[in-house]
């Protein structure tokens, strides 16, 4: 969740453009509710099964389970692999959400241990796998690496090696929706083939209110549903959240190639600005990082200055995992960023770089 | 969640009166959404903190945490008491939700062991406590006993004994909203005084879409919030659910004395029907059980026959925990049951008893 203090919230709200999450237009609570209400005129709203069936078809797997969060979906996945293998160790890339944003739930709540592998700005790869682990978590695209994907050949090698050593692969596919163009428009089913399970998010790129799914074999998902109840995530009514997801999913997937093209144009528009770096360049999906030569406090002050002067809120968060004097501004392209004229974005980033330069 | 097959759903939907959950009128998704949309016209909707503050004031405790389910709230509570005491054992009444409806999450997910105490139709009491346990869970009112409460004197004795032996008390207060009249309108704060923590539900008697709260000391709730994240229950947006709860809470609490009075009238209207028994009689809260002399399958067939003939759906579920030839029909009074003329309810129960009698 974004945490901003009151002053910042109010500056952010005064901006005419806001590129932070949520990423799409018409995304206020009132607009979600108005759209849902139209859907509900005709009856009771869709069941979770309707969405789950659609998801199994998209990903070519036998079963899927809706659940409220990715933390829940992935904690359950790790736990099931650990129980099945009688191994507690799970392989995580060092940028994994489970290591950074979940209060160590994988360990504290689920009894897993982490084998941390990889380099911050390199995708997961075959040689990082081992057979002493219950499973490997592979985030695709890798969010904290700016949306990095393994090449198709590297992905195939990773799948083959995992199969050869009998290691189950779990995909952290929170943002997998954006991966098809990088893989020459191969289907989602082909991309995830070889993975035993996949988690996908419905609120980030899709823009639904809340929600996620865990996808896999039928026995795996049956077991996951028991854990969903045990962990207190079987909600008495999910129909609003399901309806909102079904309302948006197809539309966002149709929009996605345009968002990715926009991300590439935005990256091109700023790549020559001094002292900053686009990573990866070119972007591989609908997100990328802008690496800034300062700490997050200075970056936020510069962001606020740009907001005051130009009315453009460039980003909510600046990640400072990679050193004291560098931070990563995360740009995710949805309807809002796609609608901003490229030169306005470029001018905002240019001013941001100047503000940072002045502060040092 | 209620599970009904298609035929039953359609019979249920054809009824002009439905006394099953949800308990209130104007409770369709479209009606919730219309009400919420009006609230949201003016801005962003309320924060969880607004509801949490209101709850701390009602219960006279320093802190509260919104969360999506009671299973989550109570799993977290049990876990914290176990960690603090280095004891795994928790005292549960044999009717506890944790023992019956949560796939043994207290054990499988949270590593607790259960000391099961009490008798099915007797409230929790002081002599069932011991100091070898991390805490005692006390459900008030006891749902599977028909909404039974300890007398005020017994409750005071329970609190005193727990304090004397240093045993923390946790209240399963899913339905605590209905307890005040039985205790001479003592405040919620006075009723829960002596309990270290309380869980309350927002969807059952209050009728909000989804939600619950865990209430207690500040350090306890701070710890609980970390567990909420670890367990995957920190939702990216809760404002719809919070808004729905705030919209309904005060209204339902004002309605509650009327619901309880209606429950007593309904019980009186059927207490002389042969072969059935009201439990407890008189009802102590806005719910009661009707004990039927048959198994749940026969009871459901009789319920369906009443629905076909009278258009009244008396109950969703018939609990058969107490023997092969007895089951408990659960009646909870909200707007729907309160609005049904007493003689219609009595006629429906009379026909139900006759149908059961014919089937045997």
User: How far from the centroid of its chain's Cα atoms is residue B22's Cα?
Assistant: 12
pLDDT band, residue A78 (cuts 50/70/90): very high
Question: What is the predicted ipTM?
Answer: 0.92
Mean pLDDT of A302-330: 95
- Specify the pLDDT at position B8: 54
- Specify the pLDDT at position A34: 80
| Least confident segment among B28-32, B55-59, B146-150 | B28-32
- Specify the pLDDT at position A13: 84
HSE-CB of B1 using CA atoms within 13 angstroms = 17
Mean pLDDT (chain A, rounded): 94
- pLDDT at B4 > cutoff 60: no
Q: What angle do CA B190, B191, B195 make, to 5 degrees?
A: 100
Q: Is A4 on the interface with B (CB under 8 A)?
A: no
Q: Is B126 on the interface with A (CB under 8 A)?
A: no
pLDDT single digits (tens) B98-155: 999 999 999 999 999 999 999 999 999 999 999 999 999 999 999 999 999 999 999 9
Q: How far apart are CA B315 and CA A31, in angstroms?
A: 36
Instruction: Judge if the upstream peptide bond of residue B50 is cis by omega within 30 degrees of 0.
Output: no
Question: Which chain B residue lies closest to A45 (C-alpha atoms)?
Answer: B29
| Least confident segment among A168-182, A218-232, A264-278, B3-17 | B3-17
Query: Three-state DSSP class for A169?
Result: strand
pLDDT single digits (tens) B63-92: 999 999 999 999 999 999 999 999 999 999
The hierarchical CATH code for the domain B45-235 is 3.40.640.10
Task: Kindly report the nearest CA distance between residue B320 and chain A, in angstroms.
Answer: 22
Residue A209 has its nearest CB partner, among B74, B233, B240, at B240
Candidate CATH numbers 3.40.640.10, 3.30.420.40, 1.10.10.10, 3.40.50.300; the one for domain A41-235: 3.40.640.10
Query: Three-state DSSP class for B65?
Result: strand
Candidate CATH numbers 3.90.1150.10, 3.90.550.10, 3.90.870.10, 3.40.50.300; the one for domain B6-27+253-358: 3.90.1150.10
- pLDDT at A6 > cutoff 60: no
pLDDT band, residue B44 (cuts 50/70/90): low
pLDDT single digits (tens) A13-68: 888 888 888 888 887 777 888 888 777 765 667 889 999 999 999 999 999 999 99
Question: Which chain A residue lies closest to B39 (C-alpha atoms)?
Answer: A30
pLDDT band, residue B191 (cuts 50/70/90): very high
Mean pLDDT of B178-186: 98
- Specify the pLDDT at position B230: 98
- pLDDT at B43 > cutoff 90: no
Mean pLDDT of B338-354: 97
Alpha-helix residue ranges (DSSP H) falling in chain A:
6-14, 29-40, 48-59, 70-85, 97-100, 105-108, 152-165, 188-192, 218-230, 239-270, 296-310, 335-339, 342-358
**Contact state of A33 with B36 under an 8 Å Cβ cutoff:** yes
Domain boundaries, chain B: 6-27+253-358, 45-235
Give the mutation candidate from A232, A245, A246, A247 for the B interface (greatest B CB count, under 10 A). A232
Q: How far apart are CA B155 and CA B186, in angstroms?
A: 13
Binding-face residues of B in 14-53 toward A, CB within 8 A: 28-30, 32-34, 36-37, 40-41, 44-45
Binding-face residues of A in 214-233 toward B, CB within 8 A: 226-227, 229-233
The fold of A6-28+250-358 is 3.90.1150
| Least confident segment among A3-7, B79-83, B163-167, B351-355 | A3-7
- pLDDT at B335 > cutoff 80: yes
pLDDT single digits (tens) B297-332: 999 999 999 999 999 999 998 999 999 999 999 999
pLDDT band, residue B38 (cuts 50/70/90): confident
- Specify the pLDDT at position A11: 86
- pLDDT at B3 > cutoff 50: no
């Amino acid at each position: 969740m974004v945490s901003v203090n009151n002053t910042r919230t109010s500056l952010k709200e005064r901006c005419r453009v806001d590129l932070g999450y949520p990423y799409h237009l018409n995304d206020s609570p009132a607009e979600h509710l108005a759209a849902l209400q139209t859907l509900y005129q005709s009856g009771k709203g869709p069941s979770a099964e309707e969405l789950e069936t659609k998801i199994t078809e998209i990903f070519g797997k036998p079963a899927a389970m809706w659940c409220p969060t990715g933390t829940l979906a992935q904690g359950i996945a790790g736990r099931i692999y650990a129980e099945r293998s009688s191994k507690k160790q799970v392989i995580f890339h060092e940028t994994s959400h489970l290591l950074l944003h979940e209060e160590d739930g994988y360990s504290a709540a689920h009894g897993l241990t982490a084998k941390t592998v990889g380099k911050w700005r390199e995708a997961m790869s075959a040689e990082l796998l081992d057979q002493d682990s219950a499973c490997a978590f592979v985030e695709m695209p890798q969010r904290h690496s700016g949306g990095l994907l393994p090449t198709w050949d590297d992905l195939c090698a990773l799948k083959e090696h995992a199969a050869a050593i009998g290691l189950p692969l779990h995909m952290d596919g929170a943002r997998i929706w954006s991966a098809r163009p990088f893989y020459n428009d191969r289907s989602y089913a082909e991309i995830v083939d070889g993975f035993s399970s996949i988690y996908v998010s419905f609120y980030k790129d899709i823009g639904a209110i809340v929600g996620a799914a865990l996808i896999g074999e039928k026995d795996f998902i049956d077991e996951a549903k028991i854990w969903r109840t045990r962990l207190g995530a079987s909600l008495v009514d999910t129909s609003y959240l399901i309806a909102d997801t079904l309302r948006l999913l197809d539309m966002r997937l149709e929009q996605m190639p345009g968002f990715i093209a926009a991300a590439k144009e935005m990256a091109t528009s700023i790549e020559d600005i001094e002292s900053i770096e686009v990573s990866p360049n070119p972007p591989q999906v609908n997100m990328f990082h802008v690496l800034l030569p300062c700490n997050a406090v200075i970056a936020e002050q510069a962001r606020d200055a740009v907001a005051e002067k130009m009315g453009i809120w460039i980003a909510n968060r600046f990640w400072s995992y990679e050193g004291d004097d560098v931070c990563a501004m995360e740009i995710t392209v949805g309807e809002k960023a796609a609608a901003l004229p490229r030169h306005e974005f470029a001018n905002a980033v240019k001013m941001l770089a100047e503000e940072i330069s002045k502060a040092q």
